[in-house]
A and B are shown apart, each in its own frame.
Chain A
């Protein structure tokens, strides 16, 4: 028997997959999260959007139980995150040392460590779980590659597979699409779509408002406080975005509707075609990098 048996909270399926109640997190004197309350149901897919430094990573850490809220409560299927090992976390790519001597299989097997217990080596069902997870994300052919030898999209899929091997029921992905080319982004979005049919709840941090609005049925707009939460058409309003992005957003009135400019300092590849977000006089959302309003032409 494992040396230490963990108390794994039972899941009450009638309760929300994620529920936050007045969650406040402070670092020293600054408030990272201010009285956040919302709930997600099983299988929901939510994109968490907001300016840089809005507390997206902190929110994920609080939900994962890595950071303890100073006030308020996080509940996963009705109980605090502390004992849950069903929360999968896909870190930002820059948080990982890609020269680390581990193969794709090694990384995915790490997801099983919580289930194995101390002084145990991977058993057959652990190896099977790893194979299945790799097949699910289409990375079986790369099982023996060192992780630094993969492309950015492949690396992201490996970490997705790790969360699957962990048998995660709630998946938190921190900026998984940042810096990836379009085919890689689409491959990952397809996998996320499929996860939701398995009843896995997915939260994805993104600073690409366009993509979040197009690809996710729910948006959560964050800037330390919860600015808006709901379907994209209700969240991506001029009013909400002005409130969330403050000085970083500029509204330009054009003949074709409002042009909304946000200035993000990090990441790349956001000069995407403008989507129609909603029919009733929608603001057109365009993310530009360190550009002034004057240099931006309204779309023809």
Chain B
């Protein structure tokens, strides 16, 4: 059996074609948005947000409404509660995030446990069910994905200023608070979009890992986004095929491929990988930067 057949054979199944399309879309959207999360240190917030949408997902699932709707409402409620707790008390924001995240997640699991087919559904929600993606799901993902990417392009320069130097955003009289909530909203929308493919527990890896890998390989934001998206698509597609042939759960396989790529880049990246630094005289330059040649 030649390579081509290895790649095309699974596509005889409709569910594999749909899974592949979902994997590609999520592989583009998540890393592009994740770029801002990596640069702004929002990883924990993203993870918490993903877990906090569980109650909404369960509710809409029980009532047969679209999952995205319940997830969006949950995400907004969680973000609001985090904001209220951290601003109206002396607690740090990460503590507020932790409280809301764990509480909401527990509520979601408790709600599932009252339903009959508890174990199966929880696994799907936590770790994704890319092989069960329907054509309608694909259309919803496409629309939400275009909204997310549209916002990233439209507000590129404002998000860049906000992420790099929030004080400059204020000095330039940009509507910093509104932009910050817009960015958090875009992250929430991205989490909702990816829910079916990788699930609540692993969506963080889709957001953060390819973006972090890309940061080690690039020196400007647009290339970082593009490399992150390429890595995301490559990891997801490769992971999907591996999961098909080796019969491993697909969401975790995609994440493992992505993690492996990060590990390789972390070790061997020119300029910033640790092997490169050890072998090239420490790679010292002003301000602790790597002397990457152009």
B289 touching A88, Cβ below 8 Å: no
Please list the residues of chain B having a beta carbon within 8 angstroms of any beta carbon in chain A.
39, 154-155, 157-158, 160-161, 163-165, 167-168, 170-175, 215, 218-221, 223-224, 285-292, 294
Q: How far is the CA of A255 from the CA of B286 in the complex (A)?
A: 43
B287 touching A151, Cβ below 8 Å: yes
A113 touching B161, Cβ below 8 Å: yes
Least CB distance, A100 to chain B, in whole angstroms: 6
Return the CB mask of A73-88 against B: 1 if under 8 Å, else 0: 0000000001111011
- Choose from B39, B223, B289, B291 the contact partner of A98 (Cβ within 8 Å): B289
28 A-B residue pairs with CB within 8 Å: A64-B167, A65-B171, A85-B173, A89-B167, A89-B168, A98-B288, A100-B39, A100-B164, A101-B220, A101-B221, A102-B164, A102-B221, A106-B160, A106-B220, A110-B164, A110-B165, A113-B161, A118-B155, A119-B154, A146-B219, A146-B220, A146-B292, A148-B289, A149-B285, A149-B292, A150-B287, A150-B289, A152-B287
Least CB distance, A52 to chain B, in whole angstroms: 20
A66 within 8 A of B: yes
A96 touching B158, Cβ below 8 Å: no
Q: How far is the CA of A96 from the CA of B289 in the complex (A)?
A: 13
Closest to A103 in B: B220
B164 touching A146, Cβ below 8 Å: no
Q: How far is the CA of A98 from the CA of B289 in the complex (A)?
A: 8
User: Known contacts A119-B154, A149-B289, A150-B286: does B174 contact A113 (CB below 8 Å)?
Assistant: yes
B158 touching A118, Cβ below 8 Å: yes
A12 within 8 A of B: no
Residues of B within 8 A of A264 (CB): none
A95 within 8 A of B: yes
A223 within 8 A of B: no
Residues of A within 8 A of B221 (CB): 101-102, 106
Residues of B within 8 A of A61 (CB): 167
A166 touching B173, Cβ below 8 Å: no
Q: How far is the CA of A83 from the CA of B224 in the complex (A)?
A: 34
Least CB distance, B261 to chain A, in whole angstroms: 18
User: Known contacts A101-B220, A149-B285, A151-B286: does B167 contact A95 (CB below 8 Å)?
Assistant: yes
B164 touching A6, Cβ below 8 Å: no
Return the CB mask of A135-155 against B: 1 if under 8 Å, else 0: 000000000111011111011
A97 touching B291, Cβ below 8 Å: no
Return the CB mask of A91-112 against B: 1 if under 8 Å, else 0: 1000111111111001101110
Least CB distance, A159 to chain B, in whole angstroms: 9
Return the CB mask of A50-80 against B: 1 if under 8 Å, else 0: 0000000000010011100000000000000
Q: Residue among A118, A148, A152 with the most chain B CB within 10 A?
A: A148
Residues of B within 8 A of A166 (CB): 172
Least CB distance, B242 to chain A, in whole angstroms: 30
Least CB distance, B70 to chain A, in whole angstroms: 31
A101 touching B285, Cβ below 8 Å: no
Least CB distance, A145 to chain B, in whole angstroms: 8
Residues of B within 8 A of A106 (CB): 160, 220-221
Least CB distance, B40 to chain A, in whole angstroms: 9
